[in-house]
């Protein structure tokens, strides 16, 4: 009897062929094989299903976060047995802040599930990214037998899988596939491929997309043949592994997108080809992207010597919306290639060519599969086209999916179309094609989707990112389209340049920005990038850019291109460039990763994109070259390079005087040192896990890194930065910090993974991540740790650097990384000198404490007025209740993004980060007062803290936790204009004495107990604003030690602040992501009405939009 679901099939095979192998997984892509039988798979799947039904009986959907392998298959079947819709996802990576991890968070939010299935090797990474979501993790590989009621009866109409499409940015679309859809398409595949229980299939395709999931795993489980799996990365690293597996296991069926066949031709050496026997490979399917005749021909000719027959080639056409396969060539016929008249194709007709010089080869995708119907439809008039006429491909049948997850209108537009029989729904594919002699030929894409190397890219996504990657580019004036080169699609970008930027255009710099954005965000490169004058791109009557016309104008060379105005041979600033000027320009060029010729003396630091954090890095680079200390505050955004050189020349001339002044102002730092206000707060919470409060950064090291040189400069960091030598001890209830002897400030560990198996390498990565977050000792050291993930001299490595947060902040991490890179370069060049640096953080602490005792009581009265003296009883009572609370549950709203236009306007009208910070504070104050009816908002702000006390220098080049917090009171005003609230906020912040430093000093550092007690009774701010600006951009991705990512666990910080009464209930977090400003709210769910944060998030965006309109009207 025919079964209705995959679960029924697996259960059936567990009885009928219990000891037969179901799946073999090659862990290294070669000979390290593990397998699972049907009875084992059935048992594991039922254990997982029973655990789901017992522990989370209400769950309807579950994320699958396993890497490719047997546990993924077991978890997938477990979902089917439990009646839970499976959502396959790429597991999170150790690459922090990556696009894949960002996509996972958006996918999880869109899916609205509270369960994710993982294995033990991935649970730490999953926790790192899903800890602030309501999702519960279940480790499937360690589950035990559960006592549960009978598993549910699953119907064909129930959802089996939500297959998310590979959208490049934003929230991807989830295609809802029922069990009936699945079985219908698998039956169609089985018939077209002529599969049976004696077949053998090899697949390296990722199981997170339709071809690898349905065409690989589920087809095997449905038909009962043996599937040999391997990871995609093993194929990409060494393509011959795919063909070797086909040979080794006598596989008769296997396939991939077209680029894989090209990769085999280009990358497999002749001696490896000679050792292959592919004569038993009788079906080599090709799909997922346009099937190119040239690719098929090259592959069959190259591998003919192995016994591979060109008749084995098997072109297919399909898409996720029809589960997988829509049509396929007849087995054994090979690729049917027809030369069509290119002029006729442009006119919309497929006609065989008479003149080979005016032809275009198209590969037939055969006939529709069993149970599927196909029409070619005129997309404009919705009429059926005759044979040979090009139109949109429409499909109908049992394989057509149910629609897009929670996207009703889009589902209706795509899936609910009628033509012919009124009761029969049709799917609009968005692809263009025609029928010729009963076979389908795909000619293009109505929806402009780009498919490059098997991956989908939406032009709008590319255009949006490219348009905002450089200020010289016009907004919403970019066109992304592709051209077929015979072997692959090539990406072409055409961008318009702003009118006011044409006379000072640096094409090299802009080109670098565009290629960097493409590589970083999309892992993509462009074949050609063109810069055009304003209004050059062809547009429709509605103002939209026509990509079809762009492609035509590009091919016809109609565009007049803007040329680079930079004279690379004779730079304008080279005439009178002395030694100092040359050094400065070289340092700036190195910081920005640009050619030195692109710089001139009239460019300001703001023009060059050197923000506050990059100024710190610039000062460190210049210090290493010029050999004297610099204050980053001198590098104002308005300072041009010529003025900067003049200032440095002046400092150089007066260097002796500066050294003498510094010597006279030295302070005694031999004994215990004062604690900063935040150090006080954290330490006095007396957390058991205080040693784990760390900041971690990951850097990519170059190939062939000199490990001894690296270890030398790492060890010397403690000589250079006194903050790393601090130790913390509690003596009779009082925490103190003091210097330790040099020698144990930083530990170094090298993880040599050369020669290890992929599984062992994964274990080492997990060991690295967990090791960086443990092993620090506040009392005895070290307070910093470095772990080098060494993959051999021919591979890049990963350097992880963790430092305890008590002695470091974000600016400090940038200082450490810049110093590390510089020093390593000096060691290799033979010019490195062991550092003998004067202490910075310790003397600053002494000066801070002295300043704290100088603060007059007038400032105490100020803070009492700001924080609300009259409400102290209520505040203390609330604080005590919250301290007694077992746990404050923190949640974070989904980020709300401003449009690119709104983001650009904010940066235009508020160019300084401090100005943008003020408008976000004003927005939060306004929204809070409006929604809560409060007469004020008391908001906590953070300051970088790198300020001077008395006449001392600001410690910009130091390493320490300089940051401090202070509250600002924004009183409600009888004016609903956003600009009025911004002015009121700016006044409140500007009128704060000494930028708020006194708040923490009076509360924690001042020696007068009466003052500290008075400060302790003040109301605490319930709100907080954090605006990071471009802080992560301070770590340069083009550097020798390029930035991968960073992480810091805020959980311990929040826990400590709660214990000492320094907590808040809601934080507005503003950051930048892919050109957009994003607003998210982190809040305590049991302290606020659950619906308030989402209302606030929407109102915040409205406030900012209103502000921009008001500013524009002025």
pLDDT for residue 623: 77
Q: Is 1039 part of a structural domain of the chain?
A: no
Domain boundary among the residues 784, 815, 844 is at 844
The string of pLDDT tens digits covering residues 370-382 is: 899 999 999 878 8
Given a cut of 70, whether residue 312 has pLDDT beyond it is yes
pLDDT for residue 808: 92
pLDDT for residue 663: 43
Q: Does one domain contain both 868 and 811?
A: no
For residue 628, give the CATH number of its domain: 1.10.1200.10
pLDDT for residue 795: 78
Beta bridge partners of 364: 441
Q: Does one domain contain both 1003 and 1109?
A: yes
pLDDT for residue 431: 87
Q: Which of 724, 751, 754 is nearest to 739 (CA)?
A: 724
For residue 525, give the CATH number of its domain: 3.30.300.30
Given a cut of 60, whether residue 661 has pLDDT beyond it is no
Q: Is 522 part of a structural domain of the chain?
A: yes
CA dist., res. 726 & res. 739, Å (int): 4
Q: What's the predicted TM-score (pTM) here?
A: 0.53
Q: Is the peptide bond before 782 cis (omega within 30 degrees of 0)?
A: yes
Least confident stretch, 207-221, 295-309, 577-591, 601-615? 601-615
Q: Does one domain contain both 867 and 840?
A: no
In which band, very low, low, confident or very high, does the pLDDT at 288 lie, cut at 50, 70 and 90? Answer: confident
Given a cut of 60, whether residue 52 has pLDDT beyond it is yes
pLDDT for residue 888: 60
Q: Does one domain contain both 771 and 754?
A: yes
Q: Mean pLDDT, to the nearest integer, of 959-987?
A: 92
Tell which wins on pLDDT, 424 or 460: 424
Task: Give buried/exposed letters for 433-444 (b at 16+ CB in 10 A, else e).
Answer: bbbbeebbbbbe
| Neighbour tally for 387: CB within 10 Å | 11
What's the domain range around 577? Answer: 572-664
In which band, very low, low, confident or very high, does the pLDDT at 341 lie, cut at 50, 70 and 90? Answer: confident
Cα 602 from chain centre: 36
Selection from 7-21, 565-579, 894-908, 1031-1045 with the highest mean pLDDT: 7-21
Q: Does one domain contain both 530 and 578?
A: no
Given a cut of 90, whether residue 462 has pLDDT beyond it is no
Q: Mean pLDDT, to the nearest integer, of 336-352?
A: 84
Domain boundary among the residues 820, 844, 868 is at 844
Q: Is 76 part of a structural domain of the chain?
A: no
Q: Does one domain contain both 689 and 779?
A: yes
In which band, very low, low, confident or very high, does the pLDDT at 434 lie, cut at 50, 70 and 90? Answer: very high
Given a cut of 70, whether residue 562 has pLDDT beyond it is yes
| Neighbour tally for 990: CB within 10 Å | 9
Least confident stretch, 80-94, 707-721, 879-893? 879-893
In which band, very low, low, confident or very high, does the pLDDT at 449 lie, cut at 50, 70 and 90? Answer: low
Q: Does one domain contain both 509 and 464?
A: yes
In which band, very low, low, confident or very high, does the pLDDT at 279 lie, cut at 50, 70 and 90? Answer: very high
Please give the DSSP secondary-structure letter assigned to residue 898.
P
pLDDT for residue 566: 42
pLDDT for residue 1037: 45
| Neighbour tally for 757: CB within 10 Å | 12
For residue 374, give the CATH number of its domain: 2.30.38.10
Q: Does one domain contain both 716 and 836?
A: yes
In which band, very low, low, confident or very high, does the pLDDT at 577 lie, cut at 50, 70 and 90? Answer: low
Q: Does one domain contain both 603 and 686?
A: no
Q: How confident is the prediction for the chain on average, in pLDDT? A: 83
pLDDT for residue 1039: 61
Q: Is 1075 part of a structural domain of the chain?
A: yes
Helix axes 677-684, 1050-1059, angle to 10 degrees: 80
Q: Does one domain contain both 731 and 789?
A: yes
Q: What is the DSSP secondary-structure string of 819-845?
A: HHHHHHHHHHHT------PPP-HHHHH
pLDDT for residue 528: 85
Q: Is 495 part of a structural domain of the chain?
A: yes
Q: Is 706 part of a structural domain of the chain?
A: yes
| Domain count of the fold of the chain | 5
Q: What is the DSSP secondary-structure string of 1053-1089?
A: HHHHHHHTT---SEEEEEEEETTEEEEEEEEETTTS-
Please give the DSSP secondary-structure letter assigned to residue 691.
G
The string of pLDDT tens digits covering residues 633-647 is: 677 777 888 888 888
pLDDT for residue 357: 66
Percent of the chain surpassing pLDDT 90:
39
Domain boundary among the residues 430, 445, 460 is at 445
pLDDT for residue 854: 87
Least confident stretch, 164-178, 195-209, 382-396, 626-640? 164-178
Q: Is 547 part of a structural domain of the chain?
A: yes
| Neighbour tally for 520: CB within 10 Å | 15
Say if residues 254 and 203 touch (Cβ distance below 8 Å): yes
Measuring CA to CA, how many Å separate 711 from each of 512, 746, 750, 788, 824?
33, 10, 10, 9, 9
Say if residues 1052 and 693 touch (Cβ distance below 8 Å): yes
Q: Does one domain contain both 1068 and 933?
A: yes
Given a cut of 70, whether residue 36 has pLDDT beyond it is yes
Q: Is 357 part of a structural domain of the chain?
A: yes
Given a cut of 50, whether residue 746 has pLDDT beyond it is yes
Selection from 659-668, 835-844, 925-934 with the highest mean pLDDT: 925-934
Q: Does one domain contain both 871 and 1008?
A: yes
In which band, very low, low, confident or very high, does the pLDDT at 882 lie, cut at 50, 70 and 90? Answer: very low
Exposure of 743 in the CB half-sphere (CA atoms within 13 A): 2
Tell which wins on pLDDT, 284 or 746: 284
Q: Which two tokens stand for residue 876?
A: 């203390």
Q: Which of 454, 82, 72, 343 is nearest to 229 (CA)?
A: 72
Given a cut of 70, whether residue 873 has pLDDT beyond it is no
Measuring CA to CA, how many Å separate 1102 from each of 171, 934, 938, 1074, 1098?
22, 20, 21, 21, 6
For residue 776, give the CATH number of its domain: 3.30.559.10
Q: What is the DSSP secondary-structure string of 697-716?
A: EEEEEPTT--HHHHHHHHHT
For residue 886, give the CATH number of its domain: 3.30.559.30
Q: Mean pLDDT, to the nearest integer, of 215-223?
A: 95
CA dist., res. 201 & res. 1036, Å (int): 45
């Amino acid at each position: 009897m025919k079964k209705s679901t995959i679960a029924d099939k697996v259960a059936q095979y567990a009885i009928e062929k219990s000891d037969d192998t179901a799946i073999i997984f090659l862990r290294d892509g070669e000979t390290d094989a593990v397998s699972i039988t049907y009875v084992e798979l059935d048992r594991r799947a039922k254990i997982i299903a029973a655990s789901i039904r017992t522990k989370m009986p209400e769950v309807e959907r579950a994320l699958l976060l396993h890497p490719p392998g047997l546990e993924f298959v077991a978890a997938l079947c477990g979902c089917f047995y439990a009646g839970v819709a499976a959502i396959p996802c790429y597991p999170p990576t150790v690459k922090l802040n990556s696009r894949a991890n960002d996509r996972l968070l958006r996918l999880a939010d869109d899916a609205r599930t509270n369960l994710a299935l993982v294995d033990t090797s991935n649970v730490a990474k999953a926790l790192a990214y899903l800890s602030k979501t309501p999702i519960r993790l279940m480790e499937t590989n360690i589950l035990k037998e559960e006592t549960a009621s009978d598993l549910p009866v699953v119907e064909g109409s129930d959802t089996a899988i939500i297959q998310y499409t590979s959208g490049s940015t934003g929230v991807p679309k989830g295609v809802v596939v029922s069990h009936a859809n699945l079985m219908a398409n698998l039956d169609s595949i089985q018939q077209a491929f002529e599969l049976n229980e004696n077949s053998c299939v090899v697949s390296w395709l990722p199981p997170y997309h339709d071809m690898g999931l349905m065409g690989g795993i589920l087809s095997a489980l449905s038909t009962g043949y043996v599937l040999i799996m391997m990871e995609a990365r093993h194929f990409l690293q060494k393509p011959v592994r795919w063909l070797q597996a086909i040979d080794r296991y006598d596989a008769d069926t296997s396939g991939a997108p077209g680029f894989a066949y090209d990769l085999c031709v280009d990358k497999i050496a002749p001696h490896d080809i000679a050792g292959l026997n592919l004569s038993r490979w009788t079906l080599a399917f090709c799909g997922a992207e346009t099937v190119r005749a040239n690719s098929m021909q090259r592959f069959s000719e190259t591998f003919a010597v192995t016994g591979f027959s060109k008749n084995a080639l098997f072109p297919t056409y399909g898409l996720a919306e029809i589960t997988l396969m829509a049509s396929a060539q007849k087995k054994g016929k090979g690729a049917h290639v027809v030369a069509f008249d290119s002029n006729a194709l442009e006119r919309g007709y497929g006609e065989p060519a008479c003149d080979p010089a005016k032809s275009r080869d198209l590969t037939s995708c055969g006939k529709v599969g069993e149970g599927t119907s196909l029409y070619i439809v005129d997309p404009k008039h919705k009429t059926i086209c005759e044979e040979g006429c090009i139109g949109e491909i429409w499909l109908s049948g049992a394989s057509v999916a149910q629609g897009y997850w929670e996207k009703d209108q889009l589902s209706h537009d795509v899936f609910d179309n009628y033509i012919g029989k009124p009761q029969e729904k049709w799917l609009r594919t968005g692809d263009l094609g025609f029928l010729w002699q009963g076979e389908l030929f795909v000619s293009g894409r109505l929806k402009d989707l780009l498919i490059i190397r098997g991956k989908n890219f939406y032009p709008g996504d590319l255009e949006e990112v490219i348009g905002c990657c450089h200020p010289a580019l016009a907004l919403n004036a970019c066109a992304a389209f592709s051209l077929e080169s015979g072997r692959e699609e090539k990406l072409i970008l055409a961008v318009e340049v702003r009118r006011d930027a044409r006379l000072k255009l640096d094409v090299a710099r802009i080109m670098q920005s565009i290629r960097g954005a493409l590589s970083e965000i999309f892992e993509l490169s462009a074949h050609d990038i063109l810069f055009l004058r304003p209004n050059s791109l062809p547009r429709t009557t509605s103002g939209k850019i026509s990509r079809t016309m762009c492609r035509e104008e590009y091919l016809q060379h109609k565009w007049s291109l803007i040329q680079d105005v930079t004279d690379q041979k004779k730079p304008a600033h080279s005439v009178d460039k002395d030694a100092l000027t040359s050094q400065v320009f070289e340092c700036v060029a190195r910081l920005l990763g640009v050619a030195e010729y692109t710089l001139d003396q009239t460019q300001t630091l703001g023009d060059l994109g050197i923000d506050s954090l990059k100024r710190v890095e610039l000062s460190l680079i210049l210090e290493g070259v010029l050999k004297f200390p610099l204050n980053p505050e001198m590098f104002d955004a308005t300072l041009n390079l010529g003025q900067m050189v003049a200032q440095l020349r002046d400092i150089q001339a007066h260097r002796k005087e500066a050294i003498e002044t510094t010597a006279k102002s030295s302070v005694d730092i031999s004994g215990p040192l004062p604690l900063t206000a935040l150090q006080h707060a954290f330490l006095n919470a007396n957390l058991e896990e205080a040693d784990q409060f760390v900041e971690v950064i990951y850097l990519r090291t170059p190939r062939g890194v000199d490990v001894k040189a690296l270890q030398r400069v790492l060890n010397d960091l403690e000589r250079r930065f006194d903050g790393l030598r601090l130790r913390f001890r509690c003596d009779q209830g009082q925490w103190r910090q003091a210097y330790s002897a040099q020698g144990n400030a930083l530990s170094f560990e090298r993880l040599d993974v050369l020669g290890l198996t992929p599984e062992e390498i994964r274990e080492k990565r997990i060991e690295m991540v967990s090791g960086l977050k443990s092993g620090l000792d506040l009392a005895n050291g070290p307070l910093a740790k470095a772990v080098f993930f060494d993959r051999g001299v021919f591979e890049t490595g990963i350097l992880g650097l963790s430092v305890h947060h008590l002695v470091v902040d974000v600016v400090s991490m940038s200082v450490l990384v810049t110093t590390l890179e510089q020093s390593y370069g000096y060691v290799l060049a033979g010019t490195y000198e062991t550092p003998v640096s004067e202490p910075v953080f310790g003397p600053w602490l002494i000066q801070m404490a002295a300043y704290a005792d100088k603060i007059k009581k007038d400032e105490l009265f100020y803070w009492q007025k700001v924080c609300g003296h009259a409400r102290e009883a209520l505040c203390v009572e609330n604080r005590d209740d919250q301290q007694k609370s077992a746990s404050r549950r923190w949640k974070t709203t989904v980020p709300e993004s401003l449009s690119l236009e709104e983001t650009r306007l904010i940066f235009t009208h508020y160019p300084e980060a401090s100005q943008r910070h003020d408008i976000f504070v004003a927005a939060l104050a306004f929204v809070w007062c409006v929604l809560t009816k409060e007469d004020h908002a008391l908001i906590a702000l953070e300051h970088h803290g790198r300020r001077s006390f008395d006449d001392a220098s600001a410690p910009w080049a130091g390493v320490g936790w300089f940051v401090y917090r202070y509250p600002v009171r924004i009183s409600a005003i009888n004016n609903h204009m956003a600009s009025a609230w911004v002015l009121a906020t700016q006044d409140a912040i500007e009128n704060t004495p000494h930028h708020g430093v006194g708040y923490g000093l009076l509360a924690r550092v001042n020696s007068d107990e009466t003052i500290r007690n008075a400060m302790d009774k003040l109301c605490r701010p319930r709100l907080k604003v954090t605006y990071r600006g471009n802080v992560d951009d301070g770590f340069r991705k083009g550097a020798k030690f390029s930035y991968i990512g960073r992480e810091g666990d805020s959980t311990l910080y929040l826990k400590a602040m709660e214990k000492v009464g320094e907590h808040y209930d809601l934080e507005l977090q503003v950051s930048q992501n892919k050109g957009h400003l994003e607003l998210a709210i982190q809040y305590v769910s049991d302290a606020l009405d659950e619906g308030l944060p989402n209302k606030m998030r929407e109102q915040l965006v409205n406030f900012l939009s209103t502000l921009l309109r008001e500013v524009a009207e002025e």
